[in-house]
Amino acid sequence: MPAIRTTRQSRGAASLPKGIAGHRDRHHRPPLLWLAQILCIAACVVVGAAIMATRTGDPGLWAIVGAAVVTSALRVVGVLAFHRRPTQELILGRARRWESWLGVAALTFAMVIAS
């Protein structure tokens, strides 16, 4: 089994080990599927919070509406940026950074929903 190359070991390396590359190819989906899910959830959260904020006039709820819009936009931008990068450049170090970025955006959005 070949060793996984790190960013330092493979500057500009265009391929991943065979098992990882096959896994990546099987799970590569067009961003439209992810965007649809993100946008549906975001729309429900924003509309629901906006309705509650309008009816109560609570500034805290308006802050939640604003936070929902901002975190939703960050998630959409993150998914689009991930899918616009060249697939060949996805080495282990970059994959970890993308995973962290998308995870933080999703966690932040979940915290907005929970509030």
At residue 9, the pLDDT reads 47
Residue 28 has pLDDT above 60, yes or no: no
Mean pLDDT of the chain: 77
Q: Is 80 left (phi over 0), alpha (psi -120 to 50) or beta?
A: alpha
Ordered by start, the domain boundaries in the chain are: 31-114
H helices present in the chain, as ranges: 18-26, 31-56, 59-84, 92-114
pLDDT digits (tens, 9 = 90+) for 67-112: 999 999 998 888 888 777 777 777 788 878 888 888 898 899 999 9
